[in-house]
Amino acid sequence: MEQKFKVVVNGEMEFFFTKEEIDNLDLQKNTTNGFHVLKDHRSFKSQIQNSDFLKRNYSLKINSHTYDVKIFNELDLLIEDMGLSLASASVVNDIKAPMPGLILDVQVKEGDEVQEGDYLLVLEAMKMENTLTAPRDGVVKSVTVKKGETVDKNQLLIEME
C-alpha cells in the first residue's frame, strides 16, 4: 500500500504527495541547514527556519519567501475523515444537556471529587433515561439543576474545576 501525505501551506493551500514522489525529489543538502531542490527544471533554495517535529509544523524559507507548513500522515488523514481529532483533546469543565429533557436524579453535589466515568445525573429525554458521566477526573464546582427540573438543550448542568 502506498504511503500518502497531505501538506498544508500557510493554512490555505493543500498538496497531496506519495512517499515515492517525495523519495524521487531531486534535492541536495548544503552546509547551511538547507537544501537545493530541482523541480520541473526549476531551482529552489530552501532552508528550515523552525520545526516542531511532534506537531509536524515547520517554517520553511524557499528562495526569499517564508512558508508555514503542516504535514499530515495517513493516520492523521484517517482521523480527519472520521471527524475526530487527536490534537483537539481539551479539558471539559462544563457538562451541558445534550438534548431537552427532565432531570430524574442528581448524584453529585458541589465539592464532590469524581473520577472519569462516574455517574453525575440522569436525564430523561424522548422517553429514555440517559446517564451523564464525568468526562475526566475532577472536582464538582457547581450543580445548576435539581431533581424534577426540565432543561433545554445545551443548558449548563454541572460545572467542574
Confidence (pTM): 0.49
Residue 115, pLDDT above cutoff 80: yes
Task: Give the pLDDT of residue 155.
Answer: 93
The closest of 117, 118, 120, 101 to 158, measured between CA atoms, is: 120
Task: Give the pLDDT of residue 128.
Answer: 87
Q: Which domains are delineated in the chain?
A: 4-81 (no CATH), 94-160 (2.40.50.100)
Q: What is the pLDDT of residues 35-52, one digit of tens each?
A: 888 888 888 889 888 888
Q: How far apart are CA 109 and CA 118, in angstroms?
A: 13
Q: Which residue has the higher pLDDT, 149 or 98?
A: 149
Cell 430523561: give the residue.
124
**Contact indicator for 141, 148 with CB cutoff of 8 Å:** no
Q: What is the pLDDT of residues 59-72, one digit of tens each?
A: 999 998 999 999 98
